[in-house]
Chain A
Amino acid sequence: MHLSDLLHSQVLGADGASLGSVDDVRLVQDGPLLLPFGAAFRVEGLMVGHRSVGTRLGYVRRGVRGPWLLRIIFAALERRARYVPWDDVVAWDGRTVRVGKRRDELGVVVP
Protein backbone atom coordinates (compact mmCIF):
# COMPACT_ATOMS: atom_id res chain seq x y z
CA MET A 1 0.00 0.00 0.00
CA HIS A 2 0.99 3.60 -0.35
CA LEU A 3 1.73 6.24 2.23
CA SER A 4 -0.75 8.41 0.39
CA ASP A 5 -3.44 5.87 1.30
CA LEU A 6 -2.72 6.55 4.94
CA LEU A 7 -2.41 10.29 4.55
CA HIS A 8 -5.68 12.16 4.74
CA SER A 9 -7.54 9.06 5.98
CA GLN A 10 -10.39 9.81 8.37
CA VAL A 11 -9.49 9.10 11.99
CA LEU A 12 -12.09 7.98 14.54
CA GLY A 13 -11.53 7.92 18.26
CA ALA A 14 -12.54 5.27 20.80
CA ASP A 15 -15.93 6.91 21.25
CA GLY A 16 -16.51 6.97 17.51
CA ALA A 17 -16.01 10.72 17.33
CA SER A 18 -14.02 12.06 14.42
CA LEU A 19 -10.55 13.16 15.46
CA GLY A 20 -9.77 14.66 12.07
CA SER A 21 -7.63 13.22 9.34
CA VAL A 22 -4.05 12.03 9.04
CA ASP A 23 -1.96 15.11 8.33
CA ASP A 24 1.44 13.46 8.58
CA VAL A 25 3.13 10.21 9.56
CA ARG A 26 6.10 9.87 11.85
CA LEU A 27 8.68 7.27 10.91
CA VAL A 28 11.42 5.79 13.04
CA GLN A 29 14.37 3.94 11.65
CA ASP A 30 14.25 0.64 13.51
CA GLY A 31 12.79 -1.85 11.07
CA PRO A 32 14.37 -4.76 9.22
CA LEU A 33 17.66 -4.11 7.48
CA LEU A 34 17.57 -2.80 3.93
CA LEU A 35 21.18 -2.81 2.88
CA PRO A 36 23.08 -0.72 2.08
CA PHE A 37 20.73 1.96 3.42
CA GLY A 38 20.35 0.58 6.93
CA ALA A 39 17.31 -0.16 9.05
CA ALA A 40 14.00 0.47 7.31
CA PHE A 41 11.69 3.21 8.45
CA ARG A 42 8.74 2.05 10.51
CA VAL A 43 5.52 3.92 11.04
CA GLU A 44 5.70 5.16 14.60
CA GLY A 45 2.73 7.47 14.85
CA LEU A 46 0.25 9.73 13.14
CA MET A 47 -0.31 13.44 13.31
CA VAL A 48 -4.06 13.86 13.26
CA GLY A 49 -5.42 17.26 12.45
CA HIS A 50 -7.91 19.16 10.41
CA ARG A 51 -6.01 19.50 7.13
CA SER A 52 -5.11 23.02 8.02
CA VAL A 53 -2.88 24.92 5.70
CA GLY A 54 0.71 25.02 6.65
CA THR A 55 1.39 21.53 7.97
CA ARG A 56 4.22 21.29 5.47
CA LEU A 57 5.82 24.58 6.27
CA GLY A 58 7.75 23.36 9.28
CA TYR A 59 6.80 25.96 11.85
CA VAL A 60 6.47 23.67 14.82
CA ARG A 61 8.05 20.44 13.81
CA ARG A 62 11.09 21.75 11.99
CA GLY A 63 12.19 24.76 13.88
CA VAL A 64 11.28 27.42 11.37
CA ARG A 65 11.25 30.47 13.57
CA GLY A 66 10.18 33.43 11.54
CA PRO A 67 8.68 35.68 10.52
CA TRP A 68 7.10 36.17 13.89
CA LEU A 69 3.55 36.73 12.64
CA LEU A 70 3.53 33.60 10.46
CA ARG A 71 4.97 31.53 13.28
CA ILE A 72 2.18 32.64 15.63
CA ILE A 73 -0.49 31.74 13.09
CA PHE A 74 0.85 28.40 11.97
CA ALA A 75 1.95 27.25 15.40
CA ALA A 76 -1.56 27.95 16.66
CA LEU A 77 -3.05 25.96 13.81
CA GLU A 78 -0.74 23.04 14.45
CA ARG A 79 -1.45 23.01 18.18
CA ARG A 80 -4.94 21.77 17.38
CA ALA A 81 -3.46 18.56 16.00
CA ARG A 82 -3.03 15.42 18.06
CA TYR A 83 -0.37 12.72 18.00
CA VAL A 84 -1.50 9.11 17.85
CA PRO A 85 1.19 6.48 18.51
CA TRP A 86 0.85 3.59 16.08
CA ASP A 87 0.36 1.21 19.00
CA ASP A 88 -2.89 3.00 19.80
CA VAL A 89 -4.25 2.35 16.33
CA VAL A 90 -6.79 -0.40 16.51
CA ALA A 91 -7.65 -0.80 12.85
CA TRP A 92 -7.02 0.66 9.44
CA ASP A 93 -9.01 -0.57 6.47
CA GLY A 94 -7.37 1.65 3.88
CA ARG A 95 -9.93 4.39 4.37
CA THR A 96 -10.51 4.98 8.04
CA VAL A 97 -8.18 4.73 10.98
CA ARG A 98 -9.67 3.63 14.26
CA VAL A 99 -7.88 4.68 17.39
CA GLY A 100 -8.32 3.13 20.81
CA LYS A 101 -8.30 6.43 22.68
CA ARG A 102 -10.45 9.51 22.92
CA ARG A 103 -9.26 12.96 21.85
CA ASP A 104 -8.63 14.15 25.40
CA GLU A 105 -6.39 11.16 26.00
CA LEU A 106 -4.05 12.09 23.18
CA GLY A 107 -1.01 14.29 23.44
CA VAL A 108 0.03 17.20 21.27
CA VAL A 109 2.46 16.78 18.45
CA VAL A 110 6.07 17.25 19.48
CA PRO A 111 8.91 17.88 17.05
Chain B
Amino acid sequence: MTEGRRVWAGLQLLDRQLIAHEERLAGCIDDLELIASDDGDQLHVTAILSGPGALAYRLGRRRFGRWLRRVHACASPTGDRDSTRIPFNVVTDIGSDVKLGLDAEETGSASAERWTRDHVISHIPGSGHAPE
Protein backbone atom coordinates (compact mmCIF):
# COMPACT_ATOMS: atom_id res chain seq x y z
CA MET B 1 0.00 0.00 0.00
CA THR B 2 1.30 3.44 -0.81
CA GLU B 3 2.80 5.25 2.15
CA GLY B 4 1.68 8.78 2.82
CA ARG B 5 -1.57 8.10 0.99
CA ARG B 6 -4.40 10.41 2.01
CA VAL B 7 -8.07 9.54 2.10
CA TRP B 8 -11.20 11.13 3.44
CA ALA B 9 -12.78 8.71 5.88
CA GLY B 10 -16.39 9.68 5.23
CA LEU B 11 -16.01 10.00 1.51
CA GLN B 12 -13.87 7.01 0.70
CA LEU B 13 -14.06 4.50 3.53
CA LEU B 14 -17.35 4.67 5.37
CA ASP B 15 -20.29 2.79 3.86
CA ARG B 16 -18.14 1.11 1.25
CA GLN B 17 -18.73 -2.48 0.28
CA LEU B 18 -16.33 -5.03 1.75
CA ILE B 19 -15.21 -7.79 -0.57
CA ALA B 20 -13.65 -10.94 0.85
CA HIS B 21 -11.96 -13.95 -0.77
CA GLU B 22 -13.50 -15.25 -3.98
CA GLU B 23 -15.21 -11.90 -4.49
CA ARG B 24 -17.80 -12.67 -1.87
CA LEU B 25 -19.65 -9.66 -0.49
CA ALA B 26 -18.94 -9.29 3.20
CA GLY B 27 -20.87 -6.33 4.51
CA CYS B 28 -20.19 -2.61 4.48
CA ILE B 29 -17.80 -0.47 6.48
CA ASP B 30 -20.23 0.75 9.10
CA ASP B 31 -17.68 2.52 11.29
CA LEU B 32 -13.94 2.73 12.00
CA GLU B 33 -12.13 2.05 15.23
CA LEU B 34 -9.79 4.81 16.41
CA ILE B 35 -7.11 4.30 19.04
CA ALA B 36 -5.02 7.06 20.54
CA SER B 37 -1.25 6.79 20.25
CA ASP B 38 0.83 6.29 23.37
CA ASP B 39 1.50 10.00 23.75
CA GLY B 40 -2.17 10.64 23.30
CA ASP B 41 -1.62 13.18 20.53
CA GLN B 42 -2.51 11.14 17.49
CA LEU B 43 -5.45 8.97 16.56
CA HIS B 44 -4.93 5.88 14.44
CA VAL B 45 -7.44 3.77 12.57
CA THR B 46 -6.92 0.25 13.81
CA ALA B 47 -9.98 -1.63 12.66
CA ILE B 48 -13.06 -1.66 10.48
CA LEU B 49 -16.36 -2.15 12.25
CA SER B 50 -18.97 -3.97 10.27
CA GLY B 51 -22.00 -5.89 11.32
CA PRO B 52 -24.34 -6.22 14.24
CA GLY B 53 -24.31 -3.17 16.43
CA ALA B 54 -21.86 -1.17 14.34
CA LEU B 55 -24.45 0.40 12.06
CA ALA B 56 -26.84 1.02 14.95
CA TYR B 57 -24.07 2.78 16.85
CA ARG B 58 -23.25 4.89 13.80
CA LEU B 59 -26.87 5.92 13.36
CA GLY B 60 -26.90 7.27 16.88
CA ARG B 61 -28.34 4.34 18.81
CA ARG B 62 -25.17 4.07 20.84
CA ARG B 63 -26.36 1.95 23.75
CA PHE B 64 -28.37 -0.37 21.56
CA GLY B 65 -25.43 -0.72 19.19
CA ARG B 66 -22.98 -1.58 21.96
CA TRP B 67 -25.44 -4.08 23.43
CA LEU B 68 -26.07 -5.74 20.08
CA ARG B 69 -22.37 -6.08 19.40
CA ARG B 70 -21.79 -7.65 22.82
CA VAL B 71 -24.67 -10.08 22.45
CA HIS B 72 -23.47 -11.09 19.02
CA ALA B 73 -19.93 -11.71 20.26
CA CYS B 74 -21.19 -13.80 23.17
CA ALA B 75 -23.37 -15.84 20.86
CA SER B 76 -20.45 -16.92 18.70
CA PRO B 77 -19.26 -20.51 19.06
CA THR B 78 -16.18 -19.60 21.08
CA GLY B 79 -18.09 -17.03 23.08
CA ASP B 80 -15.60 -14.23 22.63
CA ARG B 81 -15.21 -13.62 18.96
CA ASP B 82 -16.13 -10.08 18.08
CA SER B 83 -16.51 -10.55 14.34
CA THR B 84 -17.87 -7.04 14.04
CA ARG B 85 -14.29 -5.89 14.42
CA ILE B 86 -12.09 -6.46 11.39
CA PRO B 87 -8.46 -5.49 12.06
CA PHE B 88 -7.21 -3.09 9.45
CA ASN B 89 -4.24 -5.42 8.85
CA VAL B 90 -6.31 -7.63 6.55
CA VAL B 91 -7.28 -4.86 4.13
CA THR B 92 -5.65 -5.56 0.78
CA ASP B 93 -6.99 -2.82 -1.46
CA ILE B 94 -8.97 0.39 -1.23
CA GLY B 95 -10.84 1.53 -4.33
CA SER B 96 -14.51 1.89 -5.15
CA ASP B 97 -14.84 -0.98 -2.68
CA VAL B 98 -12.53 -2.29 0.02
CA LYS B 99 -10.99 -5.71 -0.40
CA LEU B 100 -10.11 -7.96 2.53
CA GLY B 101 -7.73 -10.87 2.76
CA LEU B 102 -10.27 -12.93 4.67
CA ASP B 103 -13.06 -15.38 4.03
CA ALA B 104 -16.50 -13.81 4.17
CA GLU B 105 -17.27 -16.34 6.91
CA GLU B 106 -15.04 -14.49 9.33
CA THR B 107 -16.60 -11.08 8.98
CA GLY B 108 -19.36 -9.02 10.50
CA SER B 109 -22.76 -10.51 10.12
CA ALA B 110 -21.61 -13.82 8.68
CA SER B 111 -23.12 -15.61 11.63
CA ALA B 112 -26.57 -14.21 10.79
CA GLU B 113 -26.07 -15.40 7.23
CA ARG B 114 -25.00 -18.81 8.51
CA TRP B 115 -28.00 -19.07 10.81
CA THR B 116 -30.39 -18.18 8.00
CA ARG B 117 -28.71 -20.68 5.75
CA ASP B 118 -28.75 -23.51 8.25
CA HIS B 119 -32.20 -22.96 9.66
CA VAL B 120 -34.18 -21.77 6.67
CA ILE B 121 -32.59 -22.04 3.29
CA SER B 122 -30.95 -25.43 3.70
CA HIS B 123 -34.32 -27.01 4.24
CA ILE B 124 -35.51 -25.97 0.80
CA PRO B 125 -34.51 -28.43 -1.91
CA GLY B 126 -32.11 -27.08 -4.45
CA SER B 127 -30.33 -24.62 -2.22
CA GLY B 128 -26.97 -26.01 -3.20
CA HIS B 129 -27.80 -25.92 -6.87
CA ALA B 130 -25.19 -24.05 -8.88
CA PRO B 131 -26.55 -20.98 -10.68
CA GLU B 132 -25.92 -21.96 -14.30
Interface residues on B, range: 35 or more
The answer, among B3, B12, B58, B92, for a CB contact under 8 Å with A30, is B3
Interfacial chain B residues near A108, Cβ < 8 Å: none
Nearest CB in chain B: distance from A57 CB, A: 9
Q: Is the CB of A29 within 8 A of B11?
A: no
A47 at the interface (CB under 8 A from B): yes
A6 to B44, CA, bound (A): 13
Looking at chain B's contact residues, is the secondary structure mostly helix, strand, loop, or mixed?
Answer: mixed
A26 to B5, CA, bound (A): 11
A23 to B14, CA, bound (A): 12
Interface residues on A, range: 35 or more
The answer, among B8, B31, B35, B37, for a CB contact under 8 Å with A61, is B8
The answer, among B2, B9, B90, for a CB contact under 8 Å with A25, is B9
B70-112: which residues lie under 8 A (CB-CB) from chain A?
87-92, 101
In this complex, the member of A4, A31, A58, A62 whose beta carbon has the largest number of chain B beta carbons within 10 angstroms is: A4
Q: Is the CB of B14 within 8 A of A3?
A: yes
The answer, among A31, A32, A47, A86, for a CB contact under 8 Å with B8, is A47
Q: Is the CB of B34 within 8 A of A29?
A: no
A53 at the interface (CB under 8 A from B): no
Q: Is the CB of A56 within 8 A of B44?
A: no
Nearest CB in chain B: distance from A98 CB, A: 15
The answer, among B7, B34, B57, B89, for a CB contact under 8 Å with A37, is B89
Interfacial chain B residues near A56, Cβ < 8 Å: 10-11
A1-19: which residues lie under 8 A (CB-CB) from chain B?
1-7
B127 at the interface (CB under 8 A from A): no
Q: Is the CB of B6 within 8 A of A28?
A: yes
Q: Is the CB of B90 within 8 A of A27?
A: no
- Closest residue of chain A to B33 (Cβ to Cβ) is A2
A29 to B12, CA, bound (A): 14
Q: Is the CB of A37 within 8 A of B90?
A: yes
B26 at the interface (CB under 8 A from A): no
- Flag the segment in A38-46, A65-73, A99-107 that touches B: A38-46
B4-30: which residues lie under 8 A (CB-CB) from chain A?
4-14
**Cβ-closest 9 pairs across A and B:** A38-B1, A3-B32, A24-B10, A43-B43, A41-B45, A31-B44, A25-B9, A4-B58, A29-B5
